[in-house]
Structure formats: structure tokens, C-alpha cells
């Protein structure tokens, strides 16, 4: 049994086409990550400034907590998005080298980064779906409690 996998020229062409798209998407992802970081820094300041106008130009404790939460959430999203973009970028760079040099080690490393991308995307999907279920259950419970209180 031959355990070695060989790519045809058509398979290599498909990999090269995928590489171009993943490179484009990774660059867009890096730009979007920078936008998220800027939003984290400036949006929290803007919220604090607007909310501070209501309390005689001083920032209340609730407002400070809220702006800090916004910053932390946005920065966490930026880290996640940066990680996804980095996996795609590494995939595209390694696949480019693999196609150009016919290097199996580069191909394996590129595919490892693609696996990491999809693994992280899958974990994030499970987390988001779990949060949706949790919010749904809580909304039913709170709705039932509010209805019973009428």
C-alpha cells in the first residue's frame, strides 16, 4: 500500500488559487483588526466623555466600568480576529513557498496553519452557539417570571 500522497498539477493549481484568496482575506483581516483596536481605544473614550456630561463633567463609577468593559471586549475580539488572520496569512505564505519550490515540508506547515484556523473557527462557533442557547434559556426564564408576576 502506497502511503505517499501526490498532487497533480490541477491540485497544485487549486492550492495556488486558494492561497491567493486566503492571502487577500488575511490582509483584510489585519486591517480590520487594526480598526477594532482603534475602536476599542476611541469608542470607550467617547462613551466616557458623553456619559460624563450627564454627571457634571465627571465620570461616574458605572461609566468607567462600562467603558472599561467595552475596551476589554473589543480588544478580545481583536485578538481573536488577529489570530484567525495570522493562521490564514501563514497558510498562504507556506503554500506559496510549497508550490514555488515543490517543498512538502512547506505544504505540511501550511496545511497545519489551515487546520489551526478551522479549529479556532470551530471552537468560536461552539462558544457562540452556547451563548445563544444560554441567552435563549434566560430569556424564557425571565419572560416566564415576568408573566407570573403580572
Separation CA 16–CA 98 (nearest Å) = 10
pTM score of the predicted model: 0.81
pLDDT band at 62 (very low <50, low <70, confident <90, very high): low
Separation CA 95–CA 110 (nearest Å) = 6
Mean pLDDT for the stretch of residues 102-111: 94
pLDDT band at 63 (very low <50, low <70, confident <90, very high): low
pLDDT band at 115 (very low <50, low <70, confident <90, very high): very high
pLDDT band at 45 (very low <50, low <70, confident <90, very high): confident
- Domain boundaries, given as residue ranges, for the chain: 9-113
Note the residue count of the chain: 150
Reading the block at residue 34, the C-alpha cell is: 487594526
Separation CA 110–CA 102 (nearest Å) = 13
Reading the block at residue 17, the C-alpha cell is: 488559487
**In Å, how far are 17, 19, 96, 100 from 14, measured between CA atoms?**
5, 8, 12, 14
> By three-state DSSP, how is residue 5 classified?
coil
Does pLDDT of 129 surpass 90?
yes
Separation CA 7–CA 108 (nearest Å) = 13
Q: What is the pLDDT of residue 70?
A: 81
Amino acid at each position: 500500500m502506497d502511503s505517499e500522497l501526490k498532487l497533480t498539477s490541477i491540485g497544485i493549481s487549486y492550492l495556488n488559487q486558494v492561497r491567493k484568496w486566503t492571502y487577500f482575506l488575511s490582509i483584510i483581516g489585519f486591517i480590520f483588526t487594526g480598526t477594532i483596536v482603534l475602536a476599542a481605544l476611541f469608542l470607550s473614550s467617547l462613551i466616557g466623555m458623553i456619559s460624563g456630561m450627564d454627571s457634571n463633567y465627571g465620570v461616574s463609577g458605572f461609566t468607567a466600568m462600562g467603558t472599561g468593559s467595552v475596551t476589554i471586549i473589543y480588544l478580545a475580539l481583536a485578538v481573536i480576529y488577529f489570530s484567525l488572520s495570522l493562521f490564514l496569512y501563514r497558510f498562504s505564505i507556506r503554500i506559496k513557498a510549497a508550490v514555488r519550490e515543490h517543498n512538502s515540508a512547506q505544504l505540511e506547515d501550511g496545511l497545519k496553519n489551515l487546520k489551526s484556523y478551522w479549529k479556532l473557527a470551530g471552537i468560536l462557533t461552539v462558544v457562540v452557539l452556547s451563548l445563544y442557547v444560554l441567552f435563549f434559556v434566560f430569556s424564557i426564564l425571565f419572560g416566564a417570571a415576568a408573566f407570573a408576576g403580572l
